[in-house]
Structure 1
């Protein structure tokens, strides 16, 4: 999952007319890619560049932007038994893979079994056992109630063809250069600087009106803003100058902002799992938390589009009812408290040196934070933070690299800090973010690939609370709250992810060239070019302006 880009850029605005981006039925998308694309369409690989939703489909689409019934994709119905231990699924009939082979429930069971057998692919902690009843029916059985599995299993597992993937020796690591899927698009041409997904003429839902999606690589956010001004791209999620006046500054384009991704400093936190560096000390993590000036970062890096964040990582606004009363800070302070930061450090045995930087046992409190080259908003935020932390006696160095290198380092734990975002699950429930990023089952020792608990956080109390929530009907809010209290208070105390802000995810799109974009009145999918599978729902909904 790519880091959200929703902040400021520099440079002048332009007068792009939204008419220079190629043929009327070709959509040019910029995802923030800076550097060459590496040809890998394995939807379960950390270095995957595209595929979920567009090539490889889920069974249903769950819209994290609003509550509502899931939209059928490769399945048409599902139901639980009375005890919440059996999930029955009916798959769609008359679907073929893009190579012409028939899709059946056997492919679904194969995918489920593959994910369960490969820990690095199993970001949702799936433990179900699948049984195929016939070509259009299967049952997934659990040893205990698993109500909360449904949105993850049905909405976030990408179904792959058994007749191809069955031959993969290591599906988690296998590079997929010629993807075969059931989705609305297939791979067209590929070059390191750009590749094309073309409409699937045999798609079960009918061939999409958007005939080509061209994904381009640019040098970074500023290049994206420049390309937008020149009318050379049709869809991007990222910073542009004067972000509150997109329609005025970029004729033909419109913008939309949503808040759901939680910006944080990911720390390699656990020495027992091979992490090393000052950030493994919880006192250091808390000192950074108190030393951050979030108001300044919001203004300088994000043009005041970001929002307040809770150290318990439930979303303010959406999750107000479950934010724990046991938190010291219900909301992370927007203003810095340098004195509090220094108090935390001195209490943990750190002493300030003559250069103004703390040290302990001969180790200087000097850290590096990994960011992606060209992501101007993130770089601005990180650079701003270096000055803020210096005032609290903490030395921070910004380490820029390509997205591929950054993603690989993040997965293997080769970092002290990473500037990234926690993403939501398939439904508007904080459980999913907690389960993804904080459950010990989703991490690995440094040097091995973790997905997506990149912080190497493994707390038995949190694990037990998450396992308990899995067995409770989501409607029973009273029974759930004690477990949410445990999770949030432990996260605030341990702080493996240091909360920064809720990112204001702003996307710009070519309204003159295509109709059917999400809007505040019709938020049918989360409006971000890199959000999967939401982007596939958007592409399916678009039509060339002026077309039939």
Structure 2
């Protein structure tokens, strides 16, 4: 209790001293946990950019609402049209768009952005350029994307690439390392009015096209290092909007101010145990590339205990070897459970027996299992520092792994170090999360697309299959439900048999908010979109625009 009070006092002090002098309506949020803020607003950055860069500084062309059948909410674009043959898609910008410095935002900026990421492939963190034959200007407000192959879902991919101003970025010699400390951008909150390692403020874009609907003047981001610090700030009432795992939330947060302290959790990200198949540890790599090892490990993990203890019962167990689980039940292939379901169920004895059968025995009598060739197997289970629910999940997983004779230890680097390791594949074992989508095509392509290796942490295992890639192409190229179902059924069976990741549970979308200073929040009674303030959720810009200050 004393620790919580101290954290609350510390958080309150940071939040109080951070108050901007002239802003009338200031929204205080926590969208990332870090020990210090580094001034970086590069929208292409996957490891060092601040989490308020995408969506709030660089607005998407369109936001697709996964909670409402992928309904498009048009932002910079006023429309798009997919060709009948699915070989091109045309976006039309709103009239009169401007960058935050007052320069016109036109089709030329879109053309420049796509030429730019083709010139600097490291910027293309969604591998969209490899799907395009060309990008052509139709007129000052209209751009046509010509595709290499038919793709009924290409709009969802294109809108994930931020558009940058040609008159700023054309002169940047090294855009990969460019910190973009004073961004010129398109979103509602572009002006960095204060920046310190402990807090920064991001205020309204004077030329934002939708300013009439924006009632928030500034965002304030206090530096909070971990879940307990976020909880302290929430309980104290200083945060308006946060995304964090909060243990026993009804007692630790809601009970402090039942009238104003609210939350809404919906099943979302798949959390899975992942092993790098390109790990620099040669001995670990031998085990991780063996499907029998992965299957045995999956059976040794007690998912329900992880959900009940580490997750306080919030998550939903996902033992589906295909990874889809209940979230995508309408797409599920029942043959997955019939053929491979046993590998997603907790069966400690069967898991141990499979390790024995596959040759993972203690060859040198040191008390730990070795690889079938006798080489030592030492596992570094990595999880970001401060992510307390994941740390607890790893510790629970390690208990049965160690009981089974595996030599496994935990390491807790900073989140940025962890992210970089997952992108490169230079790690041993970890937990990873993948955001949900309206269609299972997206989690599959984001996880197993070899074009994304070295660009995205979502491909951390560095596993791919030519057959899966081929079937995913067939799926996106067809409008016919029967054709798409056949392809998706086959994909699930391939994934379930190979088990490249070990699904554990679907984490809820953690969304906490305070109605004392602002109204207009999405909730279970009004589930208009996902309101989570995470940088993985483009719909957060919709929530920002719906907020209204409470009259004081």
Q: Same fold by TM (over 0.5)?
A: yes
Structure 2 match to 1:234: 240
Structure 1 CA distance for aligned equivalents of residues 430 and 512 of structure 2: 26
Give the Å deviation of 1:209.
Answer: 1.1
1:410-461 Cα distance to aligned partner (Å, 9 max, x none): 2222201122201234xx00101111111122114xxxx4454222112111
Answer yes or no: is the 8 Å Cα contact 2:42–2:179 preserved in 1: yes
Structure 1 match to 2:80: 78
Structure 2 match to 1:472: 478
2:312 is aligned with 1:303? yes
Give the Å deviation of 1:311.
Answer: 2.0
Structure 2 match to 1:359: 370
2:101 is aligned with 1:99? yes
Structure 2 CA distance for aligned equivalents of residues 524 and 503 of structure 1: 20
Structure 1 CA distance for aligned equivalents of residues 508 and 5 of structure 2: 22
2:316 is aligned with 1:322? no
Answer yes or no: is the 8 Å Cα contact 2:279–2:425 preserved in 1: no
| Structure 1 unmatched ranges of 5 or more | 1-9
Answer yes or no: is the 8 Å Cα contact 2:7–2:229 preserved in 1: no
Structure 2 match to 1:216: 222
Answer yes or no: is the 8 Å Cα contact 2:56–2:541 preserved in 1: yes
| Structure 2 unmatched ranges of 5 or more | none
Q: How do 1:56-455 residues align onto structure 2 when only pairs under 5 Å count?
A: 56-126=58-128, 127-128=131-132, 129-154=134-159, 156-186=160-190, 187-206=192-211, 208-245=214-251, 246-251=253-258, 252-270=260-278, 276=285, 278-309=287-318, 310-328=320-338, 336-352=346-362, 354-360=365-371, 361-425=373-437, 428-444=438-454, 449-450=455-456, 452-455=458-461
Structure 2 residue corresponding to 1:517, chosen from 505, 514, 521: 521
TM-score by length of 1: 0.89
Answer yes or no: is the 8 Å Cα contact 1:256–1:527 preserved in 2: no
Answer yes or no: is the 8 Å Cα contact 1:327–1:488 preserved in 2: no
Structure 2 CA distance for aligned equivalents of residues 11 and 465 of structure 1: 51
Distance 1:406 1:117, change over 3 A: same
TM-score by length of 2: 0.89
Distance 1:115 1:520, change over 3 A: farther
Answer yes or no: is the 8 Å Cα contact 2:271–2:506 preserved in 1: yes
Give the Å deviation of 1:179.
Answer: 1.4
1:181-239 Cα distance to aligned partner (Å, 9 max, x none): 11000122111222111111221101621111111222311111111111122221122
Structure 1 CA distance for aligned equivalents of residues 470 and 178 of structure 2: 33
SS of aligned partner of 2:353:
helix
- Which of 1 and 2 has higher RCO (CA within 8 Å, sep 6+)? 1
Structure 1 CA distance for aligned equivalents of residues 82 and 39 of structure 2: 39
Give the Å deviation of 1:270.
Answer: 4.3
Structure 1 CA distance for aligned equivalents of residues 274 and 123 of structure 2: 20
Q: Which has the higher helix share?
A: 2
1:338-379 Cα distance to aligned partner (Å, 9 max, x none): 222123222322113545421123333321121111111111
Of 270-279 and 159-168, deviating more is 270-279
SS of aligned partner of 1:325:
helix
Distance 1:145 1:217, change over 3 A: same
Structure 2 CA distance for aligned equivalents of residues 277 and 196 of structure 1: 48
Structure 2 match to 1:3: none
Structure 2 match to 1:491: 495
Distance 1:13 1:534, change over 3 A: farther
Structure 1 CA distance for aligned equivalents of residues 281 and 450 of structure 2: 11
Give the Å deviation of 1:65.
Answer: 2.5
Give the Å deviation of 1:504.
Answer: 1.8
Answer yes or no: is the 8 Å Cα contact 1:279–1:285 preserved in 2: yes
Distance 1:537 1:330, change over 3 A: farther
Distance 1:170 1:459, change over 3 A: farther
Structure 2 CA distance for aligned equivalents of residues 273 and 465 of structure 1: 32
SS of aligned partner of 1:404:
helix
Q: Give the length in aligned residue pairs.
A: 528
Distance 1:293 1:424, change over 3 A: same
Answer yes or no: is the 8 Å Cα contact 2:299–2:344 preserved in 1: no
1:110-130 Cα distance to aligned partner (Å, 9 max, x none): 223333454443344322211
1:18-66 Cα distance to aligned partner (Å, 9 max, x none): 9996566211112241211222211221112231111111111111222
Give the Å deviation of 1:327.
Answer: 4.3
Distance 1:201 1:508, change over 3 A: same
Distance 1:410 1:272, change over 3 A: closer
Distance 1:332 1:79, change over 3 A: farther
Structure 1 CA distance for aligned equivalents of residues 166 and 143 of structure 2: 15
Structure 2 CA distance for aligned equivalents of residues 485 and 157 of structure 1: 29
SS of aligned partner of 1:233:
coil
Answer yes or no: is the 8 Å Cα contact 2:362–2:370 preserved in 1: yes
